[in-house]
Chain A
């Protein structure tokens, strides 16, 4: 096991009392495996990703509990010196906006050199990296600045910098959300290629199920700070077990839809400061029963590595028999 996260809890400071935005998540990532973390805005997925290397700024929040074992060592117990050897080296990040992640006053070459390992010859290594991320064109252009590249090329450069120190884990937080459809596809292809070539482990964080289903081996879905369903991608796609997952999958727009209404999820996601009792999805759930509001369900195995945080078994019959309230 490359990364083993157990019961990770992260608090954010707020005006009166701290708010728990990651409320205990467990996540395992193996070498060469791509795990997709799906969730809608404000569910805590980005915070969870940052938490892996304690990247939460102290004035904003802190990790209050849990265990993060990376290559067998607990990240939370490392000194800041040891942490620096992991962060950005063994575990690299790529974020959504390539342009704001790049420093506009330094050339791509200079920025890339920063992320190299000491043993590498800068010129040959950078050429190698640029080639592997599809930027052969700029190998000989050492004085090229970020603004001279398109959004897609900038993101390629970011990915290049992330893989330069030969990391074992790449955390990608919405890496293609700011890009056009055609460019998005190219970047996804690039990520897949790198993953296979370098046997990289990837944590792919996104709100877009379509992308995650396209790229991930395993999928975890977050809602209100907890993982509510996880398992192999094929299982989740073909037989989602949690009502929220079902709703999300039913919400994916498709060409076949032809002006039929979506089986949408009603209501809105709760604020962390006013989470309901019991199952956090209960007020929006069309399969709810009274017992759901009593206590928050545990993540329990469904079958074949799939687990769901729901006390009911949502069969196909139940799905078609339960009316959808058009809560638009």
Chain B
């Protein structure tokens, strides 16, 4: 049975480019006696931007952490390129980590307050040894430039940066491992609207240029609509609707999706 799953997942990756297959994922928190993520299944296709929309506490951030194995799941499986992430060796997981990255919502909490910006990036090279000692600095600068910052930021501390700049550093850190798949967990929700547009531009550009795959989490339907190809709607731990952005926004099936669309101040 298990073998079949594994082989099936491998086939689905090679035939249909299902980069990530999430199968019946479940996570409960003892304290709250509820399932934060309740038997969720979906696939992410290579090169797409898949949106995940829902209100606070619906379990979308927990789902993000489960997918990257930053939290342990109670049940279910995750296949990345056909590999079962819950059943691979420590060493393989380490290699796979490189491919899967995450950008967080709160740029104030997502950087070590004591670490200089240059060090934040260099640490990645330090862990993977994928860049030789001599090239690290120039690679770091190059990466900072990619996200719209520059050499002048190398020796600054996060507290000296604005929210938007910190978010760029977070993006640069995620890019440093040269990933294939990035989870964007509300990356623009705490930013001012003009900065939000800048960061969305950056994410759109990067996605196109590097053929990245995103799982883009947001509570803002406008943001989802402006960057995603497909969208999934989540409510109390369950996926209740999914489809292409156009279909879901034009023809919402589920009552909750309709309420969300009506409430959103869209133009």
Contact = CB atoms under 8 A, between A and B. Distances in A.
Contact of A185 (B56, B193, B222, B263): B263
A251 interface: yes
B8 interface: no
A255 B260 contact: no
Main secondary structure of the interface of A (DSSP, over half): loop
Interface in A229-258: 247-248, 250-258
Main secondary structure of the interface of B (DSSP, over half): helix
B169 to A, nearest CB: 14
Given A41-B163, A207-B192, A255-B245, 12 more contacts: A180-B55, A181-B264, A182-B259, A208-B193, A210-B222, A252-B193, A254-B222, A257-B227, A259-B227, A262-B200, A265-B197, A328-B205
Interface string A99-141: 0000000000000000000000000000000000000000000
12 contacts: A214-B265, A252-B267, A253-B227, A255-B221, A255-B225, A255-B245, A257-B227, A259-B227, A261-B204, A264-B197, A328-B148, A328-B205
Contact of B204 (A184, A208, A255, A259): A259
Interface of B: 49, 55-56, 148, 162-165, 192-202, 204-205, 219-223, 225-227, 229, 245, 249, 259-260, 262-267
B194 A255 contact: no
A209 interface: yes
A133 to B, nearest CB: 18
B58 to A, nearest CB: 9
A4 B70 CA distance: 55
A214 B222 CA distance: 15
A248 B227 contact: no
Contacts of B199: 328
A295 to B, nearest CB: 25
Interface of A: 40-41, 180-182, 184-186, 207-211, 213-214, 247-248, 250-266, 268-269, 326-328
B106 to A, nearest CB: 14
A273 to B, nearest CB: 13
A264 B194 contact: yes
A209 B196 CA distance: 13
B192 to A, nearest CB: 4
Most buried by B among A207, A255, A263: A255
